[in-house]
């Protein structure tokens, strides 16, 4: 799903409630991750975020204004 | 008693605000003690009061504030919508979304992000990068630590007259017991008042031995019966064999008769593998090896004379100093002699002459220790004179591996029961060497100075990490070896066996070459006439002598000449220095000196 800077899901393939949940939570997490990376090295920036859980993998590609979130089932 | 204090306030001042002010303390009432009251009381002297001599503690109550925590989920409601869009109305949200999608920025961003994401997704699809690799190799840490050994305990001879600890034996099951035989090995120089006891020590109590074994003659060797751990076999200084049962007490349970025993101190006693567990054999420097059954210890069941000419002559016999028997090879046994020869024998041979199978010679002095490698019984270790040698049964001419000649005499040696390539040796200067032949062959892997006096015997416990060594003053030190030296390393068996085989092959090749050379010599010698053979050696001898003399004098003269040249150079240098400082032309002098010195040379 594609989420904008304010957390509004622009385009999504999941149902609304899941989308809203993911959007809100991941947006905050991405902000936190980005600020962490920037704090350690101001020249650095977050390019990609991968969260691997038991059931699937959540991948977040951040941009200045938008956020691309993909949930994938790994091939195992 | 009532104490009353009166203060006055005007009625008009009632209700006014209080003005506080500070003033000095005033004494209102002073009550003096009245001595009449003392009459009512009786003085108590002494006064009994109880006190408590313990840590005074106080109890205090505190209320910690309760902090309640609750796990709650957050209900995300769509926020962030711009003011003009009502999130509940589908139409408006759709319209907003479409507007955003048309934004160029949006398109670019999505394209870019999409490509990054695609890469990662494809990665995930291709391989599972988070799987557990290296599942098989559990943490096998290669011990990079340096080999080390530390002393755990020291057992001192409780007797005042100190005797040498000549033999040690670990208890077969309970690894906390150690039997030590004490005796004085100096020929007839045993000090007066020397006790004949040997002791069994419990490792937990190094101050006092657990059981004392009394005998009429000091014990040189002492062995636990591997089948019955209460029975011990001891070889005495006077040649008798004695047997103890620890259940029965410290007196000798069985003793062989003097007439049928050895004539010299019994240096080796070993229990045999038998169904009854009562058979043993012993060896002594009188040249005999005797077999006994301890149920009938009055005379030996069998006697073999260590005569390598196979004639059973006691006069020719070699004195046996060490004995070796491997339970896995029950018919063979080996004897190490005082003359430096190892004799390998077969017990089951029909005639007594055939008992002696072969001999291995190579040591210059008595062979104090003889042991087969527990992993590769074909190879055995001998310790004697100043070296330790490893032999292979196949190579009879010489040992396959040997250590360098040490400064001190080697007194005992043993293989490690857990590592096929590790063995231990003790020396007369009180050092214990631990050799690891897959690690380093020219030097011991670890050399420890255990005590100042000579170490006489060594015994490794079956787990491979505890070593007991006995010294000349009866002090037995218990050492623990680092785990690197006692645990089997990877591939160690293979590399050790490969090494033994390689060395054996090398020796065989050398042997073959020697034999060839000898045959050639023989052939050459037989090809000539007898007379010529007699003359030629004589002539050759003279020529050889003359040549040798010439060479000798040549060498001496060249050395002298060299020395003179050096001396000249030195004096020239000195003179040059003098010239530089004095600034006097002394070249004529040096020239003269040169001329003078050259003529005699």
Quickly list DSSP for B213-228: E--SS-EEEEEE-SS-
Lookup result for tokens 């059981």:
B211
Contacts of B388 (CB under 8 A, 6+ apart): B381, B382, B402, B403, B410, B413, B423, B425, B435
Phi-psi region of B87 (alpha: psi -120 to 50; beta: other; left: phi over 0): alpha
B128 with A74: Cβ contact below 8 A? yes
B128 with A20: Cβ contact below 8 A? no
**Other Cβ atoms closer than 10 A to A39:** 9
How far is C-alpha B401 from the geometric centre of its chain's CA atoms? 21
B77 with A11: Cβ contact below 8 A? no
Q: Is B586 exposed, middle or buried (0-12, 13-18, 19+ CB in 10 A)?
A: middle
Q: Which residue has the higher pLDDT, B351 or B526?
A: B526
Q: Rounded to a whole number, what is the distance in Å from the CA of B130 to chain A's nearest CA?
A: 9
Residue B202: both structure tokens together: 């419990």
* B60-97 pLDDT per residue, tens: 888 877 777 777 776 666 666 666 666 667 787 788 78
**Other Cβ atoms closer than 10 A to B482:** 17
A interface with B, Cβ–Cβ below 8 Å: 2, 4, 6-8, 10-11, 20-21, 23-25, 47-48, 50, 52, 57, 59, 61-66, 68, 70, 72, 74-76
* B381-419 pLDDT per residue, tens: 888 888 888 888 887 778 888 888 888 888 888 888 888
Choose, out of B73, B77, B80, B119, the residue to mutate when testing the contact with A (most A CBs < 10 Å): B80
Q: Is B277 exposed, middle or buried (0-12, 13-18, 19+ CB in 10 A)?
A: middle
**Other Cβ atoms closer than 10 A to A50:** 16
pLDDT at B596: 44
Q: Rounded to a whole number, what is the distance in Å from the CA of B124 to chain A's nearest CA?
A: 6
Q: Which residue of A has its CA nearest to B113?
A: A61
Phi-psi region of B44 (alpha: psi -120 to 50; beta: other; left: phi over 0): beta
Domain map of chain A by residue range?
Answer: 2-72
Residues in chain A within 8 Å Cβ distance of B113: 61-63, 66, 68
CB B261 within 8 A of CB B303: no
Res. B224 pLDDT band, cuts 50 70 90 = confident
Lookup result for tokens 């001999």:
B359
**Other Cβ atoms closer than 10 A to B83:** 5
pLDDT at B601: 43
B101 with A11: Cβ contact below 8 A? yes
Q: Which residue has the higher pLDDT, B31 or B192?
A: B31
R_g over Cα of chain A: 13
Q: Is B522 exposed, middle or buried (0-12, 13-18, 19+ CB in 10 A)?
A: exposed
Contacts of B431 (CB under 8 A, 6+ apart): B408, B447, B448, B449, B450, B455
Q: What does residue B499 show for φ and ψ, rounded to 5 degrees? A: -65, -45
Choose, out of B109, B118, B131, B133, the residue to mutate when testing the contact with A (most A CBs < 10 Å): B109
Q: Rounded to a whole number, what is the distance in Å from the CA of B501 to chain A's nearest CA?
A: 49
Q: Which residue of B has its CA nearest to A68?
A: B113
CB A72 within 8 A of CB A59: yes
Q: Does B592 score more than 50 pLDDT?
A: no
pLDDT at B585: 46
Tell me if the bond preceding B46 is cis, omega within 30° of 0.
Answer: yes
Choose, out of A10, A14, A16, the residue to mutate when testing the contact with B (most B CBs < 10 Å): A10
B interface with A, Cβ–Cβ below 8 Å: 74, 76-81, 96-97, 100-101, 105-106, 109-110, 112-114, 116-117, 120-121, 124-126, 128, 130-131
Those residues of chain A that have pLDDT short of 50 are none
* Mean pLDDT (whole number) for B521-535: 66
> Could you tell me what percent of chain B has a pLDDT over 90?
0
* B544-591 pLDDT per residue, tens: 888 888 888 888 888 888 888 888 888 877 777 766 655 544 444 444
A61 with B76: Cβ contact below 8 A? no
pLDDT at B581: 59
| Edge-first strand listing for the sheet containing B401-402 | B367-372, B379-384, B387-392, B401-402
Number of A:B CB contacts under 8 A?
Answer: 68
pLDDT at B1: 64
pLDDT at B185: 75
Among partner residues A21, A59, A75, which is closest to B120 by beta-carbon distance? A59
Among partner residues A6, A50, A63, which is closest to B112 by beta-carbon distance? A63
* B161-170 pLDDT per residue, tens: 888 888 888 8
CB B494 within 8 A of CB B438: no
* B458-506 pLDDT per residue, tens: 888 888 788 888 888 888 888 888 877 778 877 888 888 888 888 888 8
Res. B145 pLDDT band, cuts 50 70 90 = low
Residues in chain B within 8 Å Cβ distance of A65: 105-106, 109
CB B334 within 8 A of CB B370: yes
Q: Which residue has the higher pLDDT, B491 or B432?
A: B432
| Complex prediction ipTM | 0.74
Residue B308: both structure tokens together: 């390598």
Res. B138 pLDDT band, cuts 50 70 90 = low
Mean pLDDT of all residues belonging to chain B: 80
Among partner residues B77, B101, B124, which is closest to A75 by beta-carbon distance? B124
CB B466 within 8 A of CB B478: yes
Res. B318 pLDDT band, cuts 50 70 90 = confident
pTM score, whole prediction: 0.56
pLDDT at B146: 73
Strands B387-392 and B379-384: antiparallel
pLDDT at B121: 81
Residue B150 belongs to what H/E stretch? strand B149-155
Q: Rounded to a whole number, what is the distance in Å from the CA of B117 to chain A's nearest CA?
A: 7
pLDDT at B251: 79
Residues in chain B within 8 Å Cβ distance of A72: 121, 124
R_g over Cα of chain B: 47
- Which class is domain A2-72? alpha beta
pLDDT at B142: 58
Residues in chain A, total: 76
Among partner residues B78, B117, B131, which is closest to A61 by beta-carbon distance? B117
What residues does B325 pair with on adjacent strands?
A: B333
């Amino acid at each position: 799903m594609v989420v904008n800077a304010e957390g509004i899901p622009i385009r999504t393939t999941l149902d609304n409630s899941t989308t809203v949940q993911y959007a809100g939570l991941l947006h905050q997490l991405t902000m936190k991750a980005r600020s962490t990376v920037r704090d350690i090295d101001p020249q650095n920036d977050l390019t990609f975020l991968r969260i691997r859980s038991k059931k699937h993998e959540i991948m977040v590609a951040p941009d200045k204004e938008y956020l691309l979130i993909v949930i994938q089932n790994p091939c195992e | 008693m009532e104490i009353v204090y009166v203060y006055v306030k005007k009625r008009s001042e009632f209700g006014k605000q209080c003005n506080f002010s500070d003033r000095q303390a005033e004494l209102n009432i002073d009550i003096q003690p009245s001595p009449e009251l003392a009459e009512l009381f009786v003085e108590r002297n002494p006064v009994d009061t109880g006190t408590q001599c313990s840590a005074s503690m106080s109890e205090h109550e505190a209320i910690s504030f309760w902090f309640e925590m609750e796990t709650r989920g957050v209900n995300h409601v769509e926020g962030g919508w711009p003011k003009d869009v009502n999130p509940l109305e589908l139409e408006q949200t759709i319209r907003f979304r479409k507007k955003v999608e048309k934004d160029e920025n949006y398109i670019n961003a999505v394209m870019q992000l999409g490509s990054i994401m695609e890469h990662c997704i494809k990665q995930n699809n291709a391989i599972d990068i988070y799987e557990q690799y290296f599942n098989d190799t559990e943490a096998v840490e290669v011990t990079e630590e340096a080999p080390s050994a530390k002393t755990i305990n020291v057992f001192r001879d409780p007797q005042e007259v100190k005797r040498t600890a000549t033999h040690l034996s670990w208890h077969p099951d309970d690894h906390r017991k150690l039997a030590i035989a004490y005796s004085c090995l100096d020929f007839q120089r045993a000090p007066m008042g020397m006790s004949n006891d040997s002791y069994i020590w419990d490792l937990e109590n190094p101050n006092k031995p657990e059981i004392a074994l009394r005998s009429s003659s000091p014990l040189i060797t002492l062995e636990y019966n591997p089948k019955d751990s209460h029975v011990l076999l001891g070889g005495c200084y006077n040649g008798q064999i004695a047997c103890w049962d620890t259940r029965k007490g410290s007196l000798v349970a069985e003793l062989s008769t003097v007439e049928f025993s050895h004539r010299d101190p019994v240096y080796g006693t070993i229990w045999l593998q038998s169904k009854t567990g009562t058979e043993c054999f012993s060896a002594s420097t009188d040249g005999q090896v005797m077999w006994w059954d301890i149920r009938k210890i009055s005379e030996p069941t069998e006697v073999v004379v260590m005569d390598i000419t196979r004639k059973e002559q006691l006069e020719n016999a070699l004195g046996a100093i060490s004995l070796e028997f491997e339970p896995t090879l029950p018919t063979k046994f080996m004897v190490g002699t005082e003359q430096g020869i190892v004799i390998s024998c077969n017990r089951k041979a029909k005639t007594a002459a055939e008992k002696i199978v072969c001999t291995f010679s190579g040591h210059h002095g008595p062979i104090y220790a003889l042991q087969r490698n527990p992993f590769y019984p074909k190879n055995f270790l001998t310790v004697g004179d100043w070296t330790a040698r490893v032999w292979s049964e196949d190579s009879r001419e010489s040992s396959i591996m040997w250590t360098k000649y040490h400064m001190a005499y080697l007194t005992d040696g043993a293989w490690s029961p857990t590592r096929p390539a590790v063995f231990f040796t003790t020396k007369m200067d009180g050092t214990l060497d631990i050799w690891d032949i897959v690690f380093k062959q020219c030097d011991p892997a670890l050399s420890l100075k255990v005590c100042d006096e000579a170490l006489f015997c060594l015994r490794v416990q079956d787990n491979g990490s505890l070593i007991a060594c006995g010294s000349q003053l009866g002090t037995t030190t218990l050492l623990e070896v680092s785990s690197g030296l006692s645990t089997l390393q990877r591939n160690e068996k293979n590399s050790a066996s490969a090494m033994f085989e390689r060395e054996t092959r090398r020796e065989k090749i050398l042997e073959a070459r020697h034999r060839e050379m000898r045959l050639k010599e023989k052939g050459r010698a037989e090809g000539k006439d007898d007379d010529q053979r007699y003359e030629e050696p004589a002539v050759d001898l003279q020529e050889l002598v003359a040549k040798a003399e010439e060479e000798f004098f040549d060498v001496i003269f060249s050395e002298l000449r060299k020395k003179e040249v050096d001396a000249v150079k030195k004096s020239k240098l000195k003179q040059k220095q003098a010239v530089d400082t004095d600034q006097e032309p002394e070249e004529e002098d040096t020239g003269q000196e040169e001329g003078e010195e050259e003529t005699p040379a």
